[in-house]
Structure 1
């Protein structure tokens, strides 16, 4: 068994026992390592100490449980091993920036720390060969866009440090909120857009350092149209590396699946192919498919001259 496989075994064990007391010695035994080496290896491969990771995964599951308003917050706190309502509230606010009560009153999308699959750090697939992991499908290939595509939508500034997977930090999901705002307003431009094809784009801001701009919008067949309220963004004609992904549900697709696909594309696949990208990436969503929840990540590859 390779080192990452041993740690993955313990990650799977943690996920199955989040509602129970979990001891380091128990996890080390599952991974067949000494507690000392287990903790060092876990932190190195996962990017978080064991106890911090376990707390973040409990909070992620607790956030899901909070959507059921029939469950008392105190009961959810105790279920996920928090000793009191106050202890749970402190941990929740420290992680997400809002209290459990505020989240339940005004639900919003959160940046949760996703359970990793370490295999994605070590397996490099060939172009056009699907990789199936954790009930999701990834496939990478090349595409040529001969004609630019124009989208109409909204933009928001996003602090890099507060966005998973880029900043590896939890909190309010600003792009998720922007999508919510766009979907509430897009009826105003329904005659100008192709509602079945949507696109989210991340690109570096011209203003504040440490921020990027996120665009959320729909494809339009009227590239020369002018609107006061909505922004135009163009996916330029170019050669692209495209990462196709699909998941069992749309919620999984735009959260954990997208997170894992981003990390795999940028930190494993492109790196192993000695490629970097132009300073933007696009997420293309296909909302007209009733049989499968799928999307694509588009990037423009550039040879890495530093390698």
Structure 2
């Protein structure tokens, strides 16, 4: 009995951590999404629309983490943690289903962000001619990926584990088919590495742009636009490093273990570390992007950012 009590207490600690992270993820990314959505200056910038899409995905991830923690608390409180159900019952739980898809989309949206930066830095003239609908199309393709991957998850689980009561109601191991789990873990890690590789080329193009663009840009508006793009490029570079450490490395371990068909070491710890990535990213945005910080402060205080026109003719936001 003492052992069972200890295990129950440990379960509460694990799922409390899970839910607490979910709350922070939801609030932080939800605020970032609303800041961009409600700011006229931000939502008119295609790169910010893509970042808003990323924030929305991470907010959904946070909401699903909260929901799953609440569900598991309910199972623990009723003493049903050892009751057997089918993998289909687990996968069709809204929080578990949303977590699986949102993690995948988080990894893929990193590729979208890196690709967008590569276009912005390597082909700046072409990038300036793109508009907000361009960002909408990228996010639409991302949503389409989510639909197909969701369908694959549901269909593979339904037909691959039909009527197999092999998992518990806690769904800590949802029991999805091995082939889909292998695809999921490999895709998440692979997309992460692809985003890092693309950003390496962004860095090379950025170094070239720093030498070539600045001296030839004389128009005030162009100087301001170039400065915004440069600062965002550096910000996203920092975020790429953070994502590699806190998100890609844990999922690399999951992927390697999936290929070896063994249980990952300390899976709860690895999952906890990976969720910190979405929280740290918002902190980096707020620290590095002054306009974002100003607009979020205005949102939280229900005021409008103070703007005036400088001697150069450029609109300046009070910070």
The structure with the largest strand share of the pair is 1
Q: 1 or 2, which has the higher helix percentage?
A: 2
Task: Report the TM-score, using the length of structure 2 for normalisation.
Answer: 0.26
User: TM-score, normalized by length of structure 1?
Assistant: 0.26
Which of structures 1 and 2 has the bigger CA Rg?
Answer: 2
